[in-house]
Chain A
Amino acid sequence: MFQALTPEVSGKIDGILQELLVRAEADAVYLCDHAGNIIARQTCADYSNEDNIAALAAGSFSATHELARLIGQPRFDYVFHRGENLSVYMQRAPSGMILMVMFGTVSNPGLVRVYAEEAIRELKPLLAGMADEARMRESLAGVEMELDEHAEIFRREGGEA
């Protein structure tokens, strides 16, 4: 199985995340899937380890879901980690996605939650389209990909494969 994001949908998602970033006065907004892939991002600052952040967020959210199941709850809808200067708010989004907002002391969890829920409502139809396999295959039909036959995928520094 695979999921695909077309440029058109990507642009719309970026617009929603950008609006959330501004209205919630956040530092960064990420849309991730449960495998830890970053689907879209809008940030004020550069985080060089975004992939690690997304993987940990996805892992943490999945663990929280399992915790909910073990105590007899259908799910936990959001998770909030409070830091000294930067906090993280994560909320379940449709189609197996997670919306993550990183924000500093100029904002607050209540504000972030209100705007995050609004953003999720707007994202819902776009994410439903991504989960439509027939539509995805259609969008990929004209995409050409060519495997480089001669290249090693990963090499040790110094050239040895």
Chain B
Amino acid sequence: MAFINLAKKEISFKIVYYGPALGGKTTNLEQIHRAIDAQARGDLTIISTHQDRTLFFDFLPLHSEIIRGFISKFQLYTVPGQPMYNETRKLVLRHVDGIVFVADSQWEKMAENADSFRNMQENLVENGLNLERIPYVLQFNKRDLPNVAPVHYMDFLLNRGPRRVPVFESIAIECRGVFEALNMAARMVLAAFIREKRLPSVALPQELCVEEEKRG
């Protein structure tokens, strides 16, 4: 749920990185934290187990001046991917404005990808949300590994809802495809916010108008 502070001229959005365990969600945030201008980010908080597996969530605050006259704050969260932490995933999804679903491209992970995607849909419903109304993108990660499934197969598996969403191939550990997915998710979140707020003075960039048409 976006929050607008008119006194401080700030707008806050929440983007959640969701996906199966060990798929690269935390790596996405680490790479963004490492590569982005330090002026545009806060500290990276990682709450992990002794085995470096995400226990609660990771958190990275970013800010931009994409809306003139306002600071747009994007709070990036990851969820813990392991099945036993479902209650935590539900909590992190609360009030989400946009999602980057990070799928693991290895063949043997396809069932886990599908399970995680289904789990995300269920957890959104439990939070009173509907994936069809939330901006999200798919990121097919680990494309550098030898045993990856073809993109069209993963697209068939995960991108078969009533609307097709943008897909990004990535090698998160090398920061490839990471900013592309983040920027698209952020733009879709902004477009949805502007549409919902019905701002008469805002002209959307052409690429987002097209994206919105696809959303129907």
Q: Name A's B-contacting residues (CB within 8 A).
A: 1-7, 10-11, 33-37, 39, 48-49, 51-52, 55-56, 59, 62-63, 66, 137, 139-140, 143-149, 151-157, 160-161
Contacts and interface: CB of A to CB of B under 8 A. Distances in A.
A142 to B, nearest CB: 10
B59 A157 contact: no
Given A153-B186, A156-B35, A156-B36, A2 B179 contact: no
12 contacts: A3-B2, A7-B6, A34-B94, A36-B59, A66-B91, A140-B197, A145-B70, A145-B201, A147-B67, A151-B66, A157-B35, A161-B180
Interface residues of B, number: 61
Nearest to A55: B59
Given A55-B75, A156-B36, A145 B68 contact: yes
B161 to A, nearest CB: 21
B73 A33 contact: no
Interface of B: 1-8, 12, 14, 32, 35-38, 40, 42-43, 45, 47, 56-57, 59, 61-62, 64-70, 72-75, 77, 87-88, 91-92, 94-95, 175, 179-180, 182-183, 186-187, 190, 193-194, 196-197, 199, 201-205
Contacts of A51: 42, 61, 73, 75
A158 B1 CA distance: 32
Nearest to B96: A35
Given A62-B91, A147-B66, A154-B32, A2 B4 contact: yes
Interface centre among B45, B77, B204 (most CB of A within 10 A): B45
Given A3-B3, A140-B197, A146-B69, 13 more contacts: A4-B5, A6-B7, A37-B75, A48-B42, A59-B57, A143-B6, A146-B203, A147-B202, A148-B68, A153-B74, A153-B187, A154-B182, A155-B179
B94 A62 contact: yes
Given A55-B75, A161-B179, A5 B5 contact: yes
Contacts of B193: 2
Contact of A157 (B36, B57, B187, B190): B36
Given A63-B91, A145-B69, A146-B67, A37 B179 contact: no
Contacts of B65: 148, 151
Contacts of A153: 64, 66, 72, 74, 182-183, 186-187, 190
A85 B4 CA distance: 34
Contacts of B43: 48-49, 52
Contacts of A36: 14, 59, 75
